[in-house]
Amino acid sequence: MSPNARSAWFRTLGQLLLVLALGLAAGLLLGQPWPALTAAALGVVAWHYWRLRGVLLRLTARQRLAPPSGEGVWNELDRLLYRSQAEMRTRKRRLLAMLRAYRAAAAALPDAIVVVDRDTQRVLWFNEAATPLLGLHYPRHQGAALVAALRPLPLAQWLAAGRNAEPLTDVASPVDPGMRLNLRLIPYSEELWLLVARDVTRTMRLEHMRRDFVANVSHELRTPLTVIHGYLEMLDPDDKPDWAPMLAEMQRQSQRMNQLVEDLLTLSRLEAQDHLPEEHVAMGPMLATLRREAEALSQGRHRISAVDEVGLDLLGSNKELHSAFSNLVSNAIRYTPAGGEIVIRFAREPEGCASLSVRDTGYGIPAAHLPRITERFYRVSNSRSRESGGTGLGLAIVKHVLGLHHARLEIASEVGKGSVFACRFGPERLLPRDSRHADASAA
Ligand code: ADP
C-alpha cells in the first residue's frame, strides 16, 4: 500500500471514531443516541462522496482511469493520483530539459540573436554571439534600451518601421567598424521582436573583390576598344566594296562591346555608392525628353505618348533617374513590334506614392522569367536581345538606381499582350513643382 493510501485510511478511520464519539455524546445528552449517530454517519458519507466526486472528475478529465487492482477503490484512486503527480513531475523535468536544449542551441548559433520587448524596445535576452558581434554583455545590457546599447548603429528609424523594416545590409559592427553586419528584425509575437545580426565581413570582402575586378577589367578594355572602334570608323566601305558587309558587322560588334563596357562601368559605379545627389528632378522636362528619345529610337514605327497625372517633381539624381527611365523606354521600343503602342505615364499611387511607368503592347514576358529578369545578363530570349542591341544589363542598372532612391521596380507582363514597368517612389521623394527647375532643365 502506498504511503498516501495508508494515510487516507487512517484519516477515514479517525473521522469515523470521531463521529462515533460525537454521536454517542449527543445521544447521551438527548437520551436517544441513534438519530444523532445516523446524522453524523450520513455527514461523513456525504463528505467522502464529494471528495470522491472531485477525484473522479479530475481523473475523467485526464482520461487516465487504470483498471481496478482489487485493493479497493480508495487505494486505486490514490495510486492514480500519485501516478499523475509523478507523471507531471516527469513532464516538467522533460520540458525544462527541452527549454535548456533550445537555449543551448540559440547560444551556439554563430548569428547574434537578441530578444527585444516591442513596446519598450528593451533587451530581454541575447545569446553568446551577441557579445563579439554587437558588444552586448550580461548583466549590463539585460533590460537596456536597444538603440542606446547598440550605438552608433542607426537603429531608431529602423525600429520605428517595425514589421515593415527592410533588412539593414552591410553596416559596421559597434564592436569593430571593420566587421560588417547584416541586421534583420523579426516580429515573432505580439510583444516580442527578434533581432538577428549576421557577420558578413568575408562575403562583403569577396563582393568588393568581384566588384573591383569587373570595374578594372571594364576600364582596361575601354582604351583598346576605343582605338579599334576609331580605326573601323576610318575605314571607308567604298574603298573595298567586297569588305563592306564585314566592315559593317565589325562596326556593329565593336559598338556592342563599347556599350557593354559602359554598362558594366555604370553598374560598378552604382554598386560602389550608398547614396546619390539629392537634386530637384523636374518631371515635366523629363517626360518630354523621354518621349523625344523614344520617337528617335522608334523612327515612326510605334505610337508614343507621355502623360503627367501628378504635377509634382522628384527628389533624386537627375542623371541616374534619366538613365533608368530611358532604359525602360528603350526596352519598350526594342521589344515591341512595329505598329505597337508605348505609353510613358507619371501617375499617383495609393499611400501618397507616385510611379513613372512605361507600358508597351509588345512581346511580353512569361511569368516564370519575371523573378529573375533584373539579374545581370538574364534574358528571356538571347537572340532577340542581341538582335535589338541589348547588353543584358539594362534592368540591373534600373534596379540599382531605384534602390538608391528607396524606390521599387514593379513589373506586370502578359505574353503576346505587352508589359508595364513601373518605378514606384515613396511620398518622401515627391516635391512640389517648381517653375525655376522646369526652366533650368528645359534650357
Ligand atoms: P537587354 O539589354 O537584353 O534588353 P535588360 O536588362 O534591359 O537587357 O532586359 C533583360 C531582359 O528582359 C531582356 O533581354 C528581355 O528579354 C526582357 N525585357 C525587358 N524589357 C522588356 C519589355 N518591355 N518587353 C519584353 N521583354 C522585356
CATH of the domain at 212: 1.10.287
Looking at the structure, do residues 250 and 372 belong to the same domain, yes or no? no
228 beta partners: none
Q: What is the mean pLDDT of residues 390-399?
A: 93
Q: Tell me the sheet residues that pair with 343.
A: 305, 359
Is residue 287 domain-shared with residue 255, that is, in the same domain?
no
Q: What is the pLDDT of residue 401?
A: 96
Domain boundary among 78, 99, 120: 99
Instruction: Answer yes or no: do 34 and 93 share one domain.
Output: yes
Task: Tell me: pLDDT of 96 over 50.
Answer: yes
Instruction: Using pLDDT thresholds of 50, 70 and 90, give the confidence band for residue 438.
Output: low
Compute the distance from residue 99 Cα to the ligand 1 centre, in Å. Answer: 52
The range of the structural domain enclosing residue 427 comes to 279-437
Question: What pLDDT shows up at residue 55?
Answer: 67
The confidence score (pLDDT) of residue 412 equals: 96
Candidate from 264, 395, 410, 415 with most ligand 1 atoms within 8 A of CB, to mutate: 395
Please tell me whether the overall predicted TM-score, pTM, comes out greater than 0.85 for this model.
no
The last residue of a domain, from among 251, 271, 291: 271
CA–centroid distance, residue 230 to ligand 1 (Å) = 29
pLDDT at 27: 73
Candidate of 257, 331, 344, 369 to mutate for ligand 1, largest count of ligand atoms within 8 Å of Cβ: 331
More confident residue, 107 or 61: 107
Q: What is the pLDDT of residue 221?
A: 92
The strand order across the sheet containing 312-316 reads 279-281, 312-316, 430-432
Q: Name the pLDDT band for 368 (thresholds 50, 70, 90).
A: very high
How buried is residue 128: exposed, middle or buried, by Cβ count under 10 Å (0-12/13-18/19+)? middle
Q: How confident is the model at residue 356 (pLDDT cuts 50, 70, 90)?
A: very high
pLDDT for 443:
35
Do both 11 and 62 map to the same domain? yes
Same domain, 209 and 115: no
**Do residue 284 and residue 263 come from a single domain?**
no
- Is residue 104 situated within a structural domain? no
More confident residue, 251 or 5: 251
Q: Quick one: pLDDT at residue 326? A: 96
| pLDDT of 345 higher than 50 | yes
In this prediction, residue 84 carries a pLDDT of 79
Residue nearest to atom 14 of ligand 1 (CA): 379
Buried b (16+ CB within 10 A) or exposed e, 33-70: eeebbeebeeeeeeeeeeeeeebeeebeeeeeeeeeee
Q: Is 133 helix (H, G, I), strand (E, B) or coil?
A: helix
User: Does residue 305 contact residue 344 with C-beta atoms inside 8 Å?
Assistant: yes
Q: Domain check: are 384 and 431 in the same one?
A: yes
Higher-confidence residue of 11 and 283: namely: 283
DSSP-assigned beta bridge partners for residue 424: 355, 408
Q: From the CA of 364, give the closest atom in ligand 1.
A: 25
Q: What is the CATH classification number for the domain harbouring 371?
A: 3.30.565.10
Query: Hey, whose CA ends up nearest to atom 11 of ligand 1?
Result: 379
In 3-state terms, what secondary structure has residue 145? strand
pLDDT at site 152: 87
What does the alpha-carbon distance between residue 384 and residue 324 come to, in Å, rounded to a whole number?
Answer: 21
Pocket test for ligand 1, best of 267, 363, 373, 400 (most atoms within 8 A of CB): 373
pLDDT more than 90, % of the chain: 54
Q: What is the pLDDT of residues 231-284, one digit of tens each?
A: 988 888 888 888 889 998 898 889 889 999 999 999 999 988 888 899 999 999
Identify the pLDDT of residue 328: 97
In whole angstroms, give the CA distance from residue 399 to residue 407: 9
pLDDT digits (tens, 9 = 90+) for 31-87: 766 777 777 777 777 776 777 766 666 666 555 444 445 556 667 777 777 777 888
CA-418 nearest atom, ligand 1:
24
Domain boundary, last residue among 99, 125, 148: 99
The owner of cell 506614392 is: 353
Averaged pLDDT of the chain: 86
How far away, in angstroms, is 385 Cα from ligand 1 center?
A: 7
Report which ligand 1 atom has the smallest distance to the Cα of 360.
23
354 and 310 in a common domain: yes
As a whole number, mean pLDDT of residues 153-160 equals: 84
Which residues have C-beta atoms less than 6 Å from ligand 1? 331-332, 335, 360, 362-363, 365, 373, 379-381, 385, 390-396, 419
Which of 385, 409, 423 maximizes ligand 1 atoms within 8 Å of its Cβ, making it the mutation to test the pocket?
385
Q: Which residue's CA is the closest to the ligand 1 atom numbered 23?
A: 332
For ligand 1, atom 18, which residue shows the shortest CA distance? Answer: 331
Cα(352) to centroid(ligand 1), Å: 29
- Do 88 and 48 share a structural domain? yes
Q: Cell numbers 520540458 label which residue?
A: 95
Q: Judge whether 158 and 187 are in contact, CB under 8 Å.
A: no
285: CA distance to ligand 1 center in Å?
26
Does residue 243 fall inside a structural domain? yes
Longest C-alpha distance within the chain, in Å? 150
Q: For residue 180, tell me if it sits in a domain.
A: yes
Protein residue with its CA nearest to atom 7 in ligand 1 = 394
Share of the chain above pLDDT 70, in %: 90
Q: Whose CA is nearest to atom 16 of ligand 1?
A: 380
Extract the C-alpha cell encoding 320: 541616374
Helices and strands in the chain: count of H runs, count of E runs: 13, 13
CA 219 / ligand 1 centre spacing (Å)? 25
In terms of domains, do 290 and 402 share one?
A: yes
Highest mean pLDDT among 158-167, 269-278, 293-302: 293-302
Spatial CA neighbour of 78 closest among 96, 59, 92: 59
Backbone angles phi, psi at 144, to 5 degrees: -80, 155
Beta-bridged to residue 354, according to DSSP, are 348, 425
How far, in Å, is the centroid of ligand 1 from the Cα of 382? 10
The pLDDT assigned to 338 comes to 95
Nearest alpha carbon to residue 133 among 160, 186, 171: 171
Q: Same domain for 340 and 358?
A: yes
pLDDT of residue 71: 54
Least confident window among 10-14, 56-60, 192-196, 363-367? 56-60
Nearest-atom number in ligand 1 for the CA of 362 is 24
* pLDDT of 343 above 80: yes
Across residues 14-21, what is the average pLDDT? 76
Going by alpha carbons, the residue nearest to atom 20 of ligand 1 is 331
pLDDT number for residue 62? 53
Query: Across residues 334-362, what is the average pLDDT?
Result: 96
Task: Tell me what pLDDT residue 440 has.
Answer: 45
3-state secondary structure of 350: helix
User: How many A from CA of 395 to the centre of ligand 1?
Assistant: 7
Residue the block writes with cell 499617383 = 348
Predicted pLDDT at 314 = 96
pLDDT of residue 317: 95
Residue 443 lies in a domain: no
- For ligand 1, atom 4, which residue shows the shortest CA distance? 390
Residue 382 burial (C-beta neighbours within 10 Å; 0-12, 13-18, 19+)? exposed
